[in-house]
């Protein structure tokens, strides 16, 4: 009995490759030939076709029955531009218009002179000048206090007898025209001013008049201690308000009851209550042209007429007088001129 035999690849010779795929090759060739033949019939339209002018009545001469003109062949069209023109995107720019009214603002928790000035786009000096004696007590900002907020930086002036545009311009370092032409002032063509009239002086600068206490203008006894001119920090804490044009002092924030030290040796010429806003105040004359102030104290630990050494404990931090928080208000005077304490402290 012969063994079973299966038909395999070895029984017949293999079919050549070109015969097996000849039908496919022929079909692909036909498709390519058709595409090649039709390529010149496809129009190449420009990305930005030219805009044709509308026909005028004089141009219309052909009767309505005539056939429509044959469109221009692609060869007659202008070449395609190298780049595409970007269409304009409509966008309205609204300019920021200046404020033209006076605002009355109620102080909220967390408000500061500098913060409010930045918020309303005016200088800190403008804020203080427009609100009574706040310019002499810039750290006395109370919650619920109403403030006048001018629309521009400058001075808010109430006209008094004898005032003229020329005098006000000279006083506040501006031109008479800037006062006359400011719309809220409503000054007539003749420039006449009315007593009691409120004027906004745009970009005006109010002359600085320091609060001068002459309690240190006293003759010092022969045995009074004198300072070295080398000052130390009078309290430990953080600066809550620095030295600037309307606050010529340094405010050092610290808890009520924190110790206050003599910044240099000297003679205590005043120690007590001051009713101009300092509250409990100590003034030390250092006998070398320098005088220091220590204000808003909760407690005074020295007496007038005594000498103190540099670093001696003279009082406790507080918030008395025109103050809104516990801190030490510290001033350095040199021959009747208020100086920046940061220029003298280590």
For the stretch 81-97, pLDDT in tens is 555 555 555 655 655 56
Measured from the Cβ of residue 346, the count of other Cβ atoms closer than 10 Å reads 6
- What's the rounded Cα separation, in Å, for the pair 254 and 323? 13
The SS3 of residue 293 is strand
Asked whether residue 237 carries a pLDDT value surpassing 70, the answer given is yes
pLDDT for the residue numbered 106: 96
DSSP string, 191-256: ----TT-EEEEET--PPP-----GGG-SPPPTT-----S----SS-SEEEE--BTTB-SEEEE--T
Write out the H or E segment, with its range, that includes residue 32. Answer: helix 22-38
Query: According to the model, what pLDDT value does residue 208 have?
Result: 81
Phi, psi (rounded to 5 degrees) for 339: -115, 160
Q: What pLDDT score does 62 carry?
A: 42
Say how far apart CA 139 and CA 9 lie, in whole Å.
106
Report the distance separating Cα 73 and Cα 57, nearest Å.
Answer: 26
Contact yes or no for 304/284 (Cβ under 8 A): no
Confidence of residue 283 (pLDDT cuts 50, 70, 90): very high
Domain 214-343 has CATH 3.40.50.360: no
Maximum Cα–Cα distance for the chain, whole Å? 150
Summarised one tens digit per residue, pLDDT across range 201-222 is: 999 999 887 776 667 678 899 9
Of 45-49, 161-165, 311-315, the least confident: 45-49
Distance, in Å, from the CA atom of 79 to the CA atom of 56, rounded to the nearest integer, reads: 27
Domain ranges within the chain, ordered by starting residue: 103-202, 214-343
d(CA 179, CA 186): 10
| pLDDT average, residue stretch 315-333 | 93
Supply the Cα-derived Rg of the chain in whole angstroms.
45
* Mean pLDDT along residues 45-62: 43
Residue 4 predicted with pLDDT over 60: no
Give residue-wise pLDDT tens across range 11-52.
Answer: 455 555 555 666 667 776 777 766 665 555 544 544 444 444
pLDDT at 47: 44
Q: Which of 332, 323, 340 is nearest to 294 (CA)?
A: 332
**Left (φ > 0), alpha (ψ -120 to 50) or beta: where does 167 sit?**
alpha
| Mean pLDDT, rounded, for 43-72 | 44
Q: Is residue 172 a contact partner of residue 155, using CB atoms and an 8 Å limit?
A: yes
CATH second-level architecture of 103-202? Roll (3.10)
Mean pLDDT of the chain: 81
3-class SS letters over 121-166? CCCHHHHHHCCHHHHHCCCCCCCCCEEEECCCCEEEEECCCCCCHH
């Amino acid at each position: 009995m012969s063994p079973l035999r299966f038909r395999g690849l070895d029984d017949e010779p293999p079919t050549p490759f070109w015969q097996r795929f000849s039908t496919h090759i022929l079909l692909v060739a036909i498709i390519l030939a058709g595409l090649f033949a039709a390529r010149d019939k496809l129009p190449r339209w420009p990305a930005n076709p030219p805009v044709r002018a509308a026909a005028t009545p004089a141009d219309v001469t052909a009767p309505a029955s005539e056939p429509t003109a044959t469109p221009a062949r692609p060869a007659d069209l202008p070449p395609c531009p190298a780049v595409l023109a970007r269409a304009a995107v409509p966008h309205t720019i609204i300019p920021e218009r200046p404020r033209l009214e006076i605002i009355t603002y109620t102080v909220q928790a967390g408000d500061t002179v500098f913060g409010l000035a930045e918020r309303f786009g005016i200088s800190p000096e403008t804020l203080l000048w427009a609100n009574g004696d706040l310019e002499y007590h810039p750290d006395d900002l109370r919650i619920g206090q109403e403030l006048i907020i001018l629309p521009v930086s400058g001075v808010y002036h109430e006209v008094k007898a004898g005032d003229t545009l020329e005098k006000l311009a000279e006083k506040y370092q501006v031109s008479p025209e800037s006062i006359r032409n400011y719309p809220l002032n409503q000054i007539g063509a003749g420039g006449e001013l009315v007593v009691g009239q409120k004027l906004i002086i745009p970009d005006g600068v109010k002359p600085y008049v320091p609060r001068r206490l002459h309690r240190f203008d006293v003759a010092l006894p022969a045995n009074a201690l004198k300072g070295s001119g080398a000052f130390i920090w009078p309290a430990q804490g953080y600066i809550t308000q620095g030295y600037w044009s309307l606050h010529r002092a340094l405010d050092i924030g610290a808890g009520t009851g924190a110790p206050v030290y003599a910044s240099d040796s000297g003679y205590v010429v005043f120690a007590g209550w001051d009713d101009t806003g300092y509250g409990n105040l100590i003034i030390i004359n250092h006998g070398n042209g320098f005088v220091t102030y220590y204000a808003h104290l909760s407690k005074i630990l020295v007496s007038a007429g005594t000498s103190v050494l540099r670093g001696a404990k003279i009082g406790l931090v507080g918030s008395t007088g025109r103050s809104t928080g516990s801190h030490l208000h510290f001033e350095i005077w040199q021959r009747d001129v208020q100086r920046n304490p940061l220029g003298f402290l280590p």
